[in-house]
């Protein structure tokens, strides 16, 4: 099958060459001098990055290609105070944190406070959000609450992926890549250009990507090792623009991925677990393997994952007058996911004495079931999500002094999850139990099969508006308002039966002032509120949780100096949270569970700096640093061992902020020259850093939390390319690249199973490297 795919890709490239003949390579015109201007749409209209009074970072198509970015998991270097991580039991579940704010629970009722958008259409779930985006034109990262224009669930910020639109002229490209772990990728893109004088043009893109796993599972072939992927994705984009008052864009994207979950290894166990499974090898089973260091070989029992994503986006713009435009943005998306089996104890073939579950209930009868294979925790899953969204914008000007955006938004989502689990509860025995052969044990296991099953509906309606008043040529005042109504409905059949319905409403506002100190220096100050919807946690015995709310104060300066050779942006912020939602992972006889509580109040205070410089021709330097001081003011819980009816206690001094770092930084250096007779030479080196991260908020509930935490890490990536090589009818690019070239060991994620007595971690990818060969026609 792989050979057929590779042959088909080669045939596609040959077909492109025959169609194009001697078509010239279409290239973007370089800037006349200094840094290239970047146009963003963060405020629903096109404007220069440096004229936008927001904390926003943007990556262009050239940077995206140079850094090998194809999905959201690769964007940690895109902005300060931004971190991303793959969560366990998946290759497509992501947790995104901006300024320390995010959500790590992949349950399908948990909203992320960082909004993810593709061409303006919100992606309702972070579960399944790691899918390949073909032909990216730009990535915009908005930091801080975006509650006015982007709505609920953007208290941390928003990430918008903008795909390339069909070109006015015919062009095509074909890229082949090969690298470590038998990585192979074929990427094809064809632009038809305008067809006759119809105003119609199309862009067709196809991607095939496959790779063996990056950790060795002794029970699987390389193509089924942890982290292995096999993905097919394509995108069809159409654009109608005949120069008249109406413009129409439609796109369909499809992504089909079959993969093996990222490698999970057991990192810590309670002494009772170690004692219970210490006899496994003597009983004829596998030895218990526990290590906090990366293991070269794993002994796992996990099945395949299958993710399928389909999306439709329709954008219609109509110029009602010379200064007023009506825009309609319609999105329809669907995601399905099946997990054959997860292995979240990092060991296969363990043997131990088991007893009937009757020992857990009166009269607590102990009945031995003999020696059996033990799974501390495993699960399978079937999930799906469907969503529809509709947004209307009225954009325009009133005279020369007022610009405005008025809008209405509707979103509806339906999700389902069926998650059977298998756990072994290890319990002490009042007396030693003989096992035969001179062996005995003071512990036994009780095998349980809990299940999580539910369906959930979410509906959101909103109206909003924002206006900018140009008081003078240099002074602007902006204000916005948004009213949101959310409804959540949970119907659950396991592990408990319940039918819950809630409604939430919220008014958010934002106000800012910006002043052009000079033509090259913009100073601004902003106050904004945000809102993350309340809802339900089907893993928790509690009912609904309330919305969380934020008010954020921000001031910044944006500069372009030395004849546009230096771009320096600085931001300072202080955010106050009320009713902060905190998800705490737990596990017990009911299987994997979690509680979501409105813990109380927290503050986030920080600074961000970004620099982009072109000191001499051909040399570009970029760097960014972000720091956020996060503090719980109140974090109230009722201890599990407290008597019934006890009041909550404040554990703010114990609280940690999961999956996010207090300090992030990145830097990049690029050199390019076209002085060579045979092409253009480019060399780039990137460094990305984050400080220590924790995975759970309270050590008292997850005793291995500190052991599992991951220390500071700095990662280097590099790329060397020769481009614009004349190869007959085409122009070619050959690039050598490496990621994590110093082979740093760091973690994607970790889980402490609490009362079950063990914890495990997922290591990120080791050093990878490869070669790209691209043909432009």
Residue-wise pLDDT for 446-463, tens only, equals: 999 999 999 999 999 999
Residue 253, pLDDT score: 94
What mean pLDDT comes out for the span 536-546?
82
Residue 274: its H or E element? helix 271-277
DSSP string covering 697-739? S-TTT-TTHHHH-B--EEEEEEEEEEEEEEETTEEEEEEEEEE
Tokens of 357: 């579950």
pLDDT for 10 beyond 70: no
Distance CA(54)–CA(43), nearest Å, equals: 9
DSSP string covering 344-393? -SSBSSEEEEEE-GGGGSTT----EEEEEEE-SEEEEEEEEEEEEEEEEE
- 552 strand-pairing partners: 528, 575
Reported as a single tens digit per residue, the pLDDT across 547-571 is: 999 999 999 999 999 999 999 999 9
Selected residue with higher pLDDT from 448 and 135: 448
- pLDDT category, 132, cuts 50, 70, 90? confident
Distance CA(448)–CA(254), nearest Å, equals: 38
What mean pLDDT comes out for the span 190-199?
94
Distance CA(751)–CA(733), nearest Å, equals: 43
- 116 strand-pairing partners: 159
Least confidently predicted of 232-246, 257-271, 631-645:
631-645
- pLDDT category, 474, cuts 50, 70, 90? very high
- Please list, residue by residue across 78-103, b when 16 or more beta carbons sit within 10 angstroms of its beta carbon and e when fewer do: bbbbbbbbbbbbbbbbbbbbbbbbbb
What mean pLDDT comes out for the span 336-344?
94
- What sign for the dihedral angle of Cα 220, 375, 258, 165? negative
Residue 759, pLDDT score: 95
Nearest to 88 by CA among 696, 595, 582: 696
Residue 30, pLDDT score: 39
pLDDT for 118 beyond 50: yes
Residues sharing a CB contact under 8 Å with residue 152, sequence separation 6 or more, in sequence order: 111, 460, 462, 484, 486, 506, 531, 532, 533
295 CB-side CA count, 13 A: 22
pLDDT for 92 beyond 90: no
What mean pLDDT comes out for the span 634-646?
78
Residue 180, pLDDT score: 97
Phi-psi region of 754 (alpha: psi -120 to 50; beta: other; left: phi over 0): left
Reported as a single tens digit per residue, the pLDDT across 34-87 is: 888 999 998 988 999 999 999 999 988 888 888 878 778 888 888 999 999 888
Selected residue with higher pLDDT from 424 and 590: 424
Least confidently predicted of 50-64, 197-211, 248-262, 759-773:
50-64
Residue 276, pLDDT score: 96
Distance CA(334)–CA(181), nearest Å, equals: 31
Selected residue with higher pLDDT from 462 and 91: 462
Residue 113: alpha-carbon gap to chain centroid: 12
8 Å CB contact between 642 and 659? no
pLDDT for 9 beyond 80: no
Residue 74, pLDDT score: 82
Distance CA(405)–CA(467), nearest Å, equals: 6
DSSP string covering 179-203? ETTTEEEEEEEEE----TTSSEEEE
- pLDDT category, 599, cuts 50, 70, 90? confident
Distance CA(575)–CA(250), nearest Å, equals: 38
- 420 strand-pairing partners: 451
Residue 264, pLDDT score: 94
Residues sharing a CB contact under 8 Å with residue 643, sequence separation 6 or more, in sequence order: none
57 CB-side CA count, 13 A: 31
Share of the chain above pLDDT 70, in %: 94
pLDDT for 7 beyond 50: no
Distance CA(8)–CA(19), nearest Å, equals: 16
Strands (E) in 471-590, as ranges, are 475-494, 498-518, 521-532, 535-536, 544-545, 548-561, 566-588
Residue 545, pLDDT score: 87
Tokens of 404: 């405005």
What mean pLDDT comes out for the span 633-647?
80
- pLDDT category, 32, cuts 50, 70, 90? very low
Reported as a single tens digit per residue, the pLDDT across 358-386 is: 999 999 999 999 999 999 999 999 999 99
8 Å CB contact between 157 and 142? yes
CA distances from 395 to 51, 117, 402, 517 (A): 18, 20, 11, 27
Distance CA(737)–CA(732), nearest Å, equals: 16
pLDDT for 27 beyond 70: no
Selected residue with higher pLDDT from 597 and 125: 125
Phi-psi region of 233 (alpha: psi -120 to 50; beta: other; left: phi over 0): beta
Residue 3, pLDDT score: 39
Nearest to 445 by CA among 428, 431, 430: 428
- Mean pLDDT, rounded, of the chain: 90
Reported as a single tens digit per residue, the pLDDT across 566-582 is: 999 999 999 999 988 88
Strands (E) in 241-303, as ranges, are 246-260, 264-269, 297-298
Q: Per the omega criterion (within 30 degrees of 0), is the bond before 363 cis?
A: yes
Angle 633-636-641 from CA coordinates, rounded to 5°: 145
Reported as a single tens digit per residue, the pLDDT across 698-707 is: 998 899 999 9
Residue 355, pLDDT score: 96
Selected residue with higher pLDDT from 649 and 760: 760
pLDDT for 14 beyond 70: no
Residue bearing tokens 């009937």: 356
Reported as a single tens digit per residue, the pLDDT across 607-625 is: 999 999 999 999 999 999 9
Distance CA(439)–CA(437), nearest Å, equals: 5
243 CB-side CA count, 13 A: 4
Share of the chain above pLDDT 90, in %: 77
8 Å CB contact between 272 and 96? no
Rounded to a whole number of angstroms, the CA Rg of the chain reads 27
Burial of 41 (0-12, 13-18, 19+ CB in 10 A): middle
Nearest to 422 by CA among 372, 496, 463: 372
Residue 636, pLDDT score: 82
Residue 72, pLDDT score: 80
pLDDT for 399 beyond 50: yes
Residue 735, pLDDT score: 96
pLDDT for 94 beyond 90: no
pLDDT for 732 beyond 50: yes
Residue 114, pLDDT score: 92
pLDDT for 641 beyond 50: yes
Distance CA(484)–CA(460), nearest Å, equals: 7
Residue 586, pLDDT score: 65
What mean pLDDT comes out for the span 669-689?
92
Distance CA(328)–CA(317), nearest Å, equals: 6
Least confidently predicted of 58-67, 460-469, 508-517:
58-67
Residue 701, pLDDT score: 86
Nearest to 41 by CA among 476, 405, 321, 512: 405
Selected residue with higher pLDDT from 677 and 194: 194
Length of the chain: 777
Task: Tally Cβ neighbours within 10 Å of residue 6.
Answer: 16
pTM, rounded to two decimals: 0.89
- pLDDT category, 592, cuts 50, 70, 90? low
**Domains located in the chain, CATH noted:** 2-776 (2.40.170.20)
pLDDT for 5 beyond 60: no
């Amino acid at each position: 099958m792989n050979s057929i795919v590779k042959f088909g890709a080669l045939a596609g490239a040959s077909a492109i060459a025959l169609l194009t003949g001697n078509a010239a390579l279409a290239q973007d015109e370089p800037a006349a001098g200094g840094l290239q201007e970047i146009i963003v749409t963060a405020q629903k209209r096109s404007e220069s990055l440096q004229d936008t009074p927001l904390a926003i970072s943007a990556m262009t198509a050239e940077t995206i290609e140079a850094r090998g970015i194809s999905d959201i998991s690769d964007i940690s270097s895109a902005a300060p105070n931004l971190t991303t991580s793959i969560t366990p039991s998946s290759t497509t579940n992501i947790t995104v944190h901006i300024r320390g704010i995010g959500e790590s629970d992949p349950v399908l009722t948990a909203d992320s406070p960082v909004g993810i958008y593709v061409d303006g259409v919100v992606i309702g779930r972070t579960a399944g959000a790691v899918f390949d985006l073909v032909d990216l034109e730009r990535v915009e990262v908005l930091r801080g609450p975006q509650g006015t224009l982007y709505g609920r669930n953007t208290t941390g910020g928003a990430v918008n992926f903008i795909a390339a639109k069909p070109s006015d002229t015919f062009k095509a490209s074909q890229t082949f890549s090969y690298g470590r772990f038998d990585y192979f990728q074929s990427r094809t893109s064809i632009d038809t250009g305008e067809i006759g004088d119809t105003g119609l043009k199309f862009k067709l893109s196809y991607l095939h990507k496959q790779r063996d796993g990056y950790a060795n599972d002794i029970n699987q072939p390389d193509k089924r090792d942890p982290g292995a992927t096999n993905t097919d994705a394509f995108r069809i984009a159409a654009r109608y623009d005949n120069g008249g008052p109406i413009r129409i864009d439609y796109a369909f994207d499809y992504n089909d991925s079959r993969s093996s979950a990222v490698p999970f290894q057991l990192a810590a166990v309670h002494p009772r677990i170690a004692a219970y499974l210490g006899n496994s090898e003597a009983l004829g089973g596998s030895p218990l393997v526990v290590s906090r260091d990366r293991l070269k070989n794993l002994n796992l029992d996990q099945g395949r994952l299958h993710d399928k994503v389909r999306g439709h986006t329709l954008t219609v713009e109509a110029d009602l007058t010379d200064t007023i435009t009506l825009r309609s943005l319609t999105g329809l998306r669907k995601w399905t996911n099946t997990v054959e089996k997860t292995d979240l104890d990092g060991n296969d073939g363990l043997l131990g004495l088991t007893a009937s579950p009757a020992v857990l209930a009166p009269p607590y009868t102990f009945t031995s079931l003999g020696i059996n294979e033990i799974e501390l925790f495993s699960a399978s899953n079937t999930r799906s999500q469907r969503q529809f969204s509709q947004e209307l914008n009225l954009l325009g000007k009133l005279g020369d002094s007022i610009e405005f955006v008025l809008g209405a938004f509707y979103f509806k989502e339906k999700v389902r999850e069926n998650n059977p689990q298998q756990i072994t509860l290890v319990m002490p025995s009042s007396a030693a139990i003989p096992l035969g052969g001179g062996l005995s044990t003071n512990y036994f296991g009780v095998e349980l099969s809990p299940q999580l099953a539910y369906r959930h509906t979410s509906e959101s309606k909103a109206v909003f508006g924002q206006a900018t008043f140009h008081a003078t040529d240099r002074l602007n005042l902006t204000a916005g308002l948004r009213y949101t109504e959310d409804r959540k409905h949970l119907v659950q059949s396991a592990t408990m039966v319940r039918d819950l319905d809630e409604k939430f409403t919220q008014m958010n506002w934002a106000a800012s002032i910006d002043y052009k100190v000079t033509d090259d220096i913009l100073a601004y100050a902003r106050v904004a509120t945000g809102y993350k919807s309340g809802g339900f946690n089907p893993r928790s015995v509690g009912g609904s949780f309330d919305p969380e709310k934020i008010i954020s104060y921000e001031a910044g300066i944006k500069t372009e100096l030395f004849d546009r050779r230096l771009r320096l942006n600085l931001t300072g912020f202080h955010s106050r949270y009320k009713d902060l939602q905190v998800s705490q992972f737990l596990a017990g006889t009911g299987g994997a569970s979690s509680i979501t509580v409105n813990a109380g109040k927290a503050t986030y205070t920080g600074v961000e700096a970004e620099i982009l410089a072109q000191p001499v021709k051909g040399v570009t330097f970029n760097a960014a640093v972000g720091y956020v001081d996060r503090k719980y003011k109140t974090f109230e819980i009722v201890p599990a061992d407290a008597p019934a009816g006890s009041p909550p206690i404040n554990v703010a001094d114990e609280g940690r902020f999961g999956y996010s770092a207090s300090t992030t930084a990145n830097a990049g250096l690029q050199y390019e020259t076209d002085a060579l007779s045979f092409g253009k030479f480019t060399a780039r080196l990137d460094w990305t850093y984050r400080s220590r991260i924790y995975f759970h908020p309270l050590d008292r509930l997850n005793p291995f939390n500190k052991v599992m935490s991951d220390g500071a890490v700095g990662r280097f990536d590099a790329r060397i390319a020769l481009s614009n090589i004349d190869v007959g009818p085409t122009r070619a690019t050959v690039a050598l690249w490496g990621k994590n070239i110093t082979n740093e060991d760091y973690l994607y994620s970790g889980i402490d199973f609490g009362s079950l007595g063990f914890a495990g971690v997922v290591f990120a990818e080791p050093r990878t490297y490869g070669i790209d060969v691209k043909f432009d026609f």
